[in-house]
Amino acid sequence: MDIDAFSAVHGDKWSRLHFLAHKRRLTGAEADELLRLYQTVSGHLSLIRSVAPETALSATLSAGLAQARTRFTGARSNFMEDLAGFFVISLPAAFYRIRWLTLWCGLAFVVVAGAYALWIGTSAEALRAVGSDARIQQYVDEDFIDYYSENPAASFAGAVWTNNAWISAQAVAFGVTGFWVPYILFMNAQGLGIAAGLFLATGKMDVFFSYILPHGLMELTAVFIACAAGLKIFWAMVRPGPRTRLQAVADEGRSLITIALGLVLVLLVSGMVEGFVTPSPLPVWAKITIGALVLAGYWVYTLVLGGRAARTGVTGDLDANDAGYRSIAA
């Protein structure tokens, strides 16, 4: 066989295969054409290899066929597209699905924390049970405030970030137990409520809010999001609907572990605010405004991008290929 003559006859098909295999998006007609060309060029490659197995031409055709095969088997396009899809579609959709449960977790937290604050702040007996007058005064005047500035801002922000990310990951991962999320919410609400009660008893609630609100608005919301995700997985086990319990938990678990990954970045932002903004000499109104803008940014991201993605059916779950499902041809 004359390789040069064979190339001259079929070169246009090979060039077209290469073009379609590397094209970013294909129409339906182009996808059909690519499949036909793949089958045709596969035959050409077999014929060429039977005559001259180790040539530059056979290597080129093999590479083009491999790229075409990648398009048919559904291999991932590229890392940057996947990353953009995660942050623009999957993550906001997952946040959006649990928006109401997030608010309910926040409401429960506020009720418990508020009850403890009123109890400690208005009951002399409860206040004495917390500590002596001197110890309480030291906490209000020094310990609480020094906590935010006793370490370098960068290391403090990093420590806060890792600690809160760990708590949030536990809430998502262990939410299926049914008791871990209420436990986390109650313990954190109790701690915050007692601290608020000490400031209420000493008439310094303005100081308390000036240090809590800048970072706490987003930090606590992140905890509520994680708790909502955990409860969603638990409810999938309790009420699986038409799915088996195992399938329901697997579906929700994959979707909501997406939230645990996203919260790592959310908590990084709140950790930076806590490390650099909360103890800063900025006016209180400016610090609280920064915290409020971060929180507003989260809800805009969730309601706008998440709502748009959710309306198209996105849940935050992996696609069928990555989830391990296989389609079997009849």
Instruction: Provide the CB-side half-sphere exposure for 109 (13 A, CA).
Output: 25
Question: Within 13 Å, how many C-alpha atoms sit on residue 68's CB side?
Answer: 26
Three-class SS of residue 153?
Answer: helix
8-state DSSP, 177: G
Lowest mean pLDDT among 71-80, 126-135, 309-318: 71-80
Q: What integer pLDDT is reported at residue 302 of this predicted model?
A: 94
pLDDT digits (tens, 9 = 90+) for 248-272: 777 777 667 778 888 888 888 888 8
Q: Work out the mean pLDDT of the chain and round it to a whole number.
A: 83
**Number of alpha carbons in the 13 Å side-chain half-sphere of residue 306:** 19
Instruction: Confirm if 120 and 200 have CB atoms less than 8 A apart.
Output: yes
Q: Which two tokens stand for residue 190?
A: 């109790």
pTM value is 0.71
Higher pLDDT, 198 or 242: 198
The predicted-structure confidence for 42-97, as pLDDT tens digits, reads as follows 888 888 877 776 677 777 878 888 878 777 765 555 567 767 778 888 889 889 99
Mean predicted confidence (pLDDT) in 288-303 = 95
Q: What is the pLDDT of residues 2-50, one digit of tens each?
A: 777 888 888 888 888 888 888 878 888 888 888 888 888 888 888 887 7
pLDDT higher than 90, residue 246:
no
Percent of the chain scoring above 90 in pLDDT? 30
Q: How confident is the model at residue 317 (pLDDT cuts 50, 70, 90)?
A: low
User: Does residue 322 have a pLDDT over 50?
Assistant: no
CA angle 94, 99, 104 (to 5 degrees): 135
Residue-wise pLDDT for 133-176, tens only, equals: 899 999 888 888 888 877 677 776 777 777 777 878 788 778 87
pLDDT, residue 60, reads: 80
| Percent of the chain surpassing pLDDT 70 | 89
pLDDT at 219 over 50: yes
Helix axes 284-300, 245-272, angle to 10 degrees: 150
- What does the pLDDT read at residue 324? 44
Give residue 316's pLDDT. Answer: 63
* For residue 296, pLDDT beyond 90: yes
For the chain, give the number of residues.
330
For residue 128, give the H/E element and its range.
Answer: helix 124-130
